[in-house]
Amino acid sequence: MTAQPRRNTPPIAPSSNPDCCGGKRPLAEVSRSKGLDPATVMALLSTLGNGDAAGAVTDVDELSLSALCDHIEQIHHGYLREELPRLDFMTRKVAAVHGDSEPRLREVRQVFEQFSAAMLAHTQEEEQHVFPVIRLLESQGKGSTQRAGLKETLETLETAHDQAGAALARFRELTDNFVPPEWACNTFRALYDSLAKLEAETHQHVHKENHVLFAKALATDAMA
C-alpha cells in the first residue's frame, strides 16, 4: 500500500498573498519579504505553541517522528477540532447581525467555511493515511512497504498549507489586521481576536509539519 494523496479535499479560496505560512518558499525569504528578521522568526516558531495540556514546553526538534506525529495530533489537530466549531458559530452570527453595516463580514464567513472544511479534511488525511506511513517508516525503515509516493504526498500537503496561508491572509485583509470598528459588539470583537489566534496557531502548526516533521521524514526515507 502506498501513501497516495486524496483528491477530494475542498479547495480554499485564493489570495494575493499565498505564502503566509511559508509553505514552499524558504522561511528566510518569507520573513524578509515581510520586513522580519529570519532568525527571530525561526526562534519564535520553535518555541511558541509547543506546550502540552499541562503547559510544559516541548522541543519538537528533539522528538522522534512518531512522537512528533502524536504532538501535532494532540496539540494542533485538537485545537482545530475544538476551535473551528466555535468559529463557525461566531462567523455565521456576526455576519448575519452586522453584515449590512460591514459587508466584508460576509466574505469572512465564506472564506472561513472553505478554510474549515479544507483543514478538517486535511487533518483527517494526515491522521488516517499520512502519519501512519511516517510512523511505519520510522519503525520499519527499509522494511516498510508504504514508502512509495511519500515525497509526492508531502508535497500535496504542503500545497494545502499554502492554501491555508492564503485564507489566513485574506482574513487579515478583510478585518483590517483583526482590528474591529469602534462600534463592534463583544461577539464581534471576540471573533476578530479568535481569528488572530487562529492565524498564529496555524503558523506554528504548519512550521512543525513543513520544516520539522516532513523534513525529518524525507531525510529518514532517503537513508532507508
Could you tell me if residue 81 is inside a domain?
A: yes
Arithmetic mean of pLDDT, 42-70: 68
Could you report the per-residue pLDDT of 3-19, keeping only the tens digit for each?
Answer: 444 434 444 443 333 33
Could you tell me if residue 144 is inside a domain?
A: yes
State how far the Cα of 161 lies from the Cα of 158, in Å rounded to an integer.
5
Instruction: Report the predicted TM-score, pTM, of the whole model to 2 decimal places.
Output: 0.75
Which residue shows C-alpha cell 514508502?
Answer: 147
Could you report the per-residue pLDDT of 113-164, keeping only the tens digit for each?
Answer: 999 999 999 999 999 999 999 998 888 765 455 566 888 999 999 999 999 9
Could you tell me if residue 121 is inside a domain?
A: yes
Structural domain count, the chain? 1
C-alpha cell belonging to residue 196:
488572530
Could you tell me if residue 143 is inside a domain?
A: yes
Could you tell me if residue 95 is inside a domain?
A: yes
pLDDT tier at 197, thresholds 50, 70, 90: very high
Higher-confidence position of 141 and 95 = 95
Could you tell me if residue 90 is inside a domain?
A: yes
Radius of gyration of the chain (CA): 18
Could you tell me if residue 3 is inside a domain?
A: no
Could you tell me if residue 163 is inside a domain?
A: yes
Q: What is the pLDDT of residue 138?
A: 86
Domain that holds residue 126: 66-223
pLDDT of 173 strictly over 60: yes
